[in-house]
Amino acid sequence: MIIPVRVLSNQGPMRVELARWRDRLVVVKRLSGFSPMLADRLKREAEVVHKLEHPNIVPLLATEGDTLIYAYCPGLSLAEALVQGALPLMRSVKILQDILSALAYAHSQNVIHFDVKPANILIKGEHSLLTDFGFAKDLALTEITGQQMMLGTPNYMAPEQFKGVRTDHRSDIYAAGAVLYHALTGKPPYGSQVLRFLAGDDRVPLDPLPAKAAPLQGVVATALKRQPKDRFASAEAMLDALKAVPS
């Protein structure tokens, strides 16, 4: 039996709640209204996350009908941590190392997240976890969202994803670079001009990293390349580049 404690978010017919289930606190994701499309997405999210077991991915404990029951990970989101501005360099690096480890594993399971952003990164002590696979794609499963439908968050979305392409794991590499840029500067790349950049305007300037973050300039620049072929080839490659940054 699921006993709601409080609502964590309520976006349209999709509701996320803190609840009690089997004598433990959990996070419950379910529909509060009628939406066949979102019901299909919840079912697909369950299919995707159910096969993922990694210390940096919030685990799915069970499903009950159209309700997804996730482990409760007390802490704060990276989005909340960034309200006060940029994070220290090595703190930013550690968070991204954890997330890249999660992505490397997910990609090895043919899963692309497609919505890596500060709000979907939970910080629990010294560890960070990736959550919300609601927009994820399992390359081994039949597509349920049309290739031309844009899903994701523009500030952290790769240009090809903006155009509706949902087949390249390097879209997650771009998003990881955008998150790292935000953590180091206190703002997402391209700011209010991000849609111009995503639409193909290379005249949109990208402000440089602050001097203290200069050692990461190459990592960020590579991750944020417009063309997927010019980015890191894998999450492991970006992770190795971060590990090589002097502390």
Chain segment 220-243, per-residue pLDDT in tens: 999 999 999 999 999 999 999 999
Angle value at C-alpha 114, between 42 and 26, nearest 5 degrees? 45
Alpha carbons 160 and 76: distance in angstroms, whole number = 30
Alpha carbons 19 and 39: distance in angstroms, whole number = 20
Are the C-beta atoms of residues 220 and 210 closer than 8 Å to each other? Answer: no
Same fold, 2-71 and 76-243: no
Alpha carbons 123 and 117: distance in angstroms, whole number = 13
Are the C-beta atoms of residues 41 and 134 closer than 8 Å to each other? Answer: yes
> How many percent of the chain have pLDDT more than 90?
84
Tell whether domain 76-243 is in CATH 1.10.510.10.
yes
Catalytic residue from among 40, 66, 98, 115:
115
Domain ranges of the chain: 2-71, 76-243
For 144, other C-beta atoms within 10 Å of its C-beta total: 11
Alpha carbons 173 and 225: distance in angstroms, whole number = 10
Annotation says 40 is catalytic: no
2-71 CATH? 3.30.200.20
pLDDT at 148: 46
Q: How confident is the model at residue 149 (pLDDT cuts 50, 70, 90)?
A: low
